[in-house]
C-alpha cells in the first residue's frame, strides 16, 4: 500500500510548517501572509502502512528535518542542496517501529510536534497526548490576534479532532498529570487513572509570572495564557472601560495593540527604561515607541507599581512616584516561569527549567523534555520556533532516530501594531569591543552588531526582508572583511551582507 502524501506549506522566513490543503492566512510564528508560503510535500507513515523505508533526514545547515525515502533536492528553509542532509540513524538497540508506549504531557506546539514526529517515523507506536486544557490544541501565539478580532476561536486550532483519530494519537483533554512514578514507569492523572509508558516526554510549558504587587489578587487582574484568559478580556471590551497592560515586552504590546484595534482605552507600563528591552536597544525602542503611541496607546517607561487598587475589583494602579492611573482591568505580562513541581517530586533534575541534554533527554532514563519547560545549556528559549524544533527532536530520539538540538541565537520575527520587527543575537548588552552600525528614519531602523568581523546581532524595524539571510549569517558565524563592515552607509553594509549569502 503506498504511503499517504501529506501536503505541507512552509514559511521561508522562519521555517514554520503548516499541514493542510491550503496555506494559513498568515504565519502564526512570524506573521507573513499566505502568499509567502511555499508548498512542501513529505511522505509520512500511518498505522497499517509500510513505513519502514521512510527515514528522517536533517539539514546540516539549519537543522530542518525532512521525512521521506530520500532527502529533498534543496532544504525548504535555508536552500542548501541535498548533499548537506544526513540520515538520522536509529540508536543501537532501538527498533524505530516497535509498539512502545509514548506519553506526551502537554499539548502545546512542542507536545503536538513531538507526536507528529513520532507518528511520521513510527507507524505503530502507541501515542498518548495529555492536555490540561479543555480545548483542542491551538496556536497560543494567535491569542492576541483573537483579541484583535483577526481570527475566530476555531481558526486557532492546530489540528481538527479527527486528525488525532486518523493518526492514532490518543488525545486526552481536561486532564492533568499530578505525579510521575519513575521506577514503575507510569503517570498519575487528575481523573484518578494511571497510564504506563515506555518513554515519557514532558512538554508542560510555562505559566505567567504574577509579581507580588499588593492587590494582584483582585478580580479583573489577569494574564493572557489561555483562551479563557482571552475571553475574560474580550468580555470587558466595548463598555468604555480602561485597560492597563503591565509589561512592555512582546506580549504586553501585542495585547495593547489588539485592544487599540478595538478602540479601547489602553495604557502600557514598563519597569525598564524602554519598551521590549530583551529585543530592542534604546535607539530602536525610541522609534518603536513613537509607532505605539500613534495608535492612541499611552506608554510609561521606567515606572514601578506600588499597588493595584480597589476593593473586590481593580479600580486603578498606584505607581511608586505617587501617580494614580484609572483601570477597570489590569493585564500582567511580566514573563513566564516553568512549573517544576511534579518533576522535582519525581527526582528529575531541574534548574530554572527541566534540565536536558542535546537529545532532549533528562537525567532520568526514558524521560525527555521539550519546549518552554526544557532548559538546555542553561537556556530557556520560550519561543515558538525552538519549541517546535525541540518537540521534533525529542520525538525522534524517543523512537530511536538520534539527533541533537543545535543551540541557536535567540531571534524574534513579529509584527506588532502594523510594524515589522526582527531581532536576533547580541543586541543588548553589546559585546565589549563590538562595532555597532545603525541608522533610522521614520518608522524604519536598522542596527548591525559586529564582533571580530562576524555579525553577532541585528535589529530590523519596518523593513525585515533581510531577516532570513541575517539569521543564517549569524548562525554560520560568517566572517566579513573590514571593507564590508566599515562602509559609511548602513544600507550599503546590509546589501553587502545579503550578497554574500544566498537564502
DSSP state of 99: -
* Backbone dihedral angles phi then psi of residue 156, each to the nearest 5 degrees: -90, -10
CA distance 43 to 100: 22
Q: How many CB atoms lie within 10 A of CB 393?
A: 30
Q: What is the pLDDT of residue 47?
A: 42
> Position of cell 525548504?
76
Q: How many CB atoms lie within 10 A of CB 92?
A: 7
CB-count burial class (<10 Å; 0-12, 13-18, 19+) for 63: buried
Contacts of 239 (CB under 8 A, 6+ apart): none
DSSP state of 241: -
Question: Which CA distances in Å does 27 have to 141, 164, 484?
Answer: 10, 22, 33
Q: What is the pLDDT of residue 72?
A: 80
147 and 154 Cβ atoms separated by less than 8 Å: no
Can you give the pTM of this predicted structure?
0.82
Question: Which CA distances in Å does 243 have to 56, 230, 257, 323?
Answer: 48, 13, 12, 16
CB-count burial class (<10 Å; 0-12, 13-18, 19+) for 435: middle
| Per-residue pLDDT tens listing for the chain (503 residues) | 333 446 778 876 666 777 777 888 777 766 667 887 888 765 444 444 434 456 777 776 556 677 777 888 777 655 567 777 777 765 543 445 678 999 999 999 999 999 999 998 899 999 999 999 999 999 998 899 999 998 899 989 999 999 999 999 999 999 999 999 999 999 999 999 999 999 999 999 999 999 999 999 999 999 999 999 999 999 999 999 999 999 999 999 999 999 999 999 999 999 999 999 988 999 999 999 998 999 999 999 999 999 999 999 999 999 999 999 999 999 999 999 998 999 999 999 999 999 999 999 999 999 999 999 999 999 998 888 789 889 999 999 999 888 888 766 677 777 777 788 899 999 888 888 899 999 988 778 999 999 999 999 999 999 888 887 888 888 888 899 898 898 988 888 988 887 764 33
CA distance 461 to 450: 18
Q: Is the dihedral of CA 177, 180, 184, 188 positive or negative?
A: negative
DSSP 326-337: E-SEEEE---EE
Contacts of 498 (CB under 8 A, 6+ apart): 466, 469
Q: What is the pLDDT of residue 97?
A: 63
* Backbone dihedral angles phi then psi of residue 470, each to the nearest 5 degrees: -65, -45
- Of 313, 286, 322, nearest to 301 (Cα)? 286
What the chain holds in terms of domains, given with CATH numbers, is 101-205+339-399 (3.50.50.60), 209-335 (3.50.50.60), 411-499 (3.30.390.30)
What's the CA angle centered on 385, arms 394 and 36, to 5 degrees?
A: 130
398 and 118 Cβ atoms separated by less than 8 Å: yes
Strands (E), 232-337: 242-246, 265-270, 298-301, 305-310, 314-319, 324-326, 329-332, 336-337
DSSP 16-60: -EEESSS--SB-TTT--BGGG-EEEEEE---TTS--TT-EEEEET
SS3 345: helix
Q: What is the pLDDT of residue 410?
A: 72
**Residues forming beta bridges with residue 33, ordered by sequence position:** 26
142 and 151 Cβ atoms separated by less than 8 Å: yes
CA distance 400 to 56: 11
How big is the chain, counted in residues?
A: 503
Q: What is the pLDDT of residue 336?
A: 92
Side by side, which strands form the sheet with 444-451? Answer: 411-416, 419-425, 454-461, 444-451, 435-441
CA distance 39 to 25: 14
Q: What is the pLDDT of residue 278?
A: 87
Amino acid at each position: 500500500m503506498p504511503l499517504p502524501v501529506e501536503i505541507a506549506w512552509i514559511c521561508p522566513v522562519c521555517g514554520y510548517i503548516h499541514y493542510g490543503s491550503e496555506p494559513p492566512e498568515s504565519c502564526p510564528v512570524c506573521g507573513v501572509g499566505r502568499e509567502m508560503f511555499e508548498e512542501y510535500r513529505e511522505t509520512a507513515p500511518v498505522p497499517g502502512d509500510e513505513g519502514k523505508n521512510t527515514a528522517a533526514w536533517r539539514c546540516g545547515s539549519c537543522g530542518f528535518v525532512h521525512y521521506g525515502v530520500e532527502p529533498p533536492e534543496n532544504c525548504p528553509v535555508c536552500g542548501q542542496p541535498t548533499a548537506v542532509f544526513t540520515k538520522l540513524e536509529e540508536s543501537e538497540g532501538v527498533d524505530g517501529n516497535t509498539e512502545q508506549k509514548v506519553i506526551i504531557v502537554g499539548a502545546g506546539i512542542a507536545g503536538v510536534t513531538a507526536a507528529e514526529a513520532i507518528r511520521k517515523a513510527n507507524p505503530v507506536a502507541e501515542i498518548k497526548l495529555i492536555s490540561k486544557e479543555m480545548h483542542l490544541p491551538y496556536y497560543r501565539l494567535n491569542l492576541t490576534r483573537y483579541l484583535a478580532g483577526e481570527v475566530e476561536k476555531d481558526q486557532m486550532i492546530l489540528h481538527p479532532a479527527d486528525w488525532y483519530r486518523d493518526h492514532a494519537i490518543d488525545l486526552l483533554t481536561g486532564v492533568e498529570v499530578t505525579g510521575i512514578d519513575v521506577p514503575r514507569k507510569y503517570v498519575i492523572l487528575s481523573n484518578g487513572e494511571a497510564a504506563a509508558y515506555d518513554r515519557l516526554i514532558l512538554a508542560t510549558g510555562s505559566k505567567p509570572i504574577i509579581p507580588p504587587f499588593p492587590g494582584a489578587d483582585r478580580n479583573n487582574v489577569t494574564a493572557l495564557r489561555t483562551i479563557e484568559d482571552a475571553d475574560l478580556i474580550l468580555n470587558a471590551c466595548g463598555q468604555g472601560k480602561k485597560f492597563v497592560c503591565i509589561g512592555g515586552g512582546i506580549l504586553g504590546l501585542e495585547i495593547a495593540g489588539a485592544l487599540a484595534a478595538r478602540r479601547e482605552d489602553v495604557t502600557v507600563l514598563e519597569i525598564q527604561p524602554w519598551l521590549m528591552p530583551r529585543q530592542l536597544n534604546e535607539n530602536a525602542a525610541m522609534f518603536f515607541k513613537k509607532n505605539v503611541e500613534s495608535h492612541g496607546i499611552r506608554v510609561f517607561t521606567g515606572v514601578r507599581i506600588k499597588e493595584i487598587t480597589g476593593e473586590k475589583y481593580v479600580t486603578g494602579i498606584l505607581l511608586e512616584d505617587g501617580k494614580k492611573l484609572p483601570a477597570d482591568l489590569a493585564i500582567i505580562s511580566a514573563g513566564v516561569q516553568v512549573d517544576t513541581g511534579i518533576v522535582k517530586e519525581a527526582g528529575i533534575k531541574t534548574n530554572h527549567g527541566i534540565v536536558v541534554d542535546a537529545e532532549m533527554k533528562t537525567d532520568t532514563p526514558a524521560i525527555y523534555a521539550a519546549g518552554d519547560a526544557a532548559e538546555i545549556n542553561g537556556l530557556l528559549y520560550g519561543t515558538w520556533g525552538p519549541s517546535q524544533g525541540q518537540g521534533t527532536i525529542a520525538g525522534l530520539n524517543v523512537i530511536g532516530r538520534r539527533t541533537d538540538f543545535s543551540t541557536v541565537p535567540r531571534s524574534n520575527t513579529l509584527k506588532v501594531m502594523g510594524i515589522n520587527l526582527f531581532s536576533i543575537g547580541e543586541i543588548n548588552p553589546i559585546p565589549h569591543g563590538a562595532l555597532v552600525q545603525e541608522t533610522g528614519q521614520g518608522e524604519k531602523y536598522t542596527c548591525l552588531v559586529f564582533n571580530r568581523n562576524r555579525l553577532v546581532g541585528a535589529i530590523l524595524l519596518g523593513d525585515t526582508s533581510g531577516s532570513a539571510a541575517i539569521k543564517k549569517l549569524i548562525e554560520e558565524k560568517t566572517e566579513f572583511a573590514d571593507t564590508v563592515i566599515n562602509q559609511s552607509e548602513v544600507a550599503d553594509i546590509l546589501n553587502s551582507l545579503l550578497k554574500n549569502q544566498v537564502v
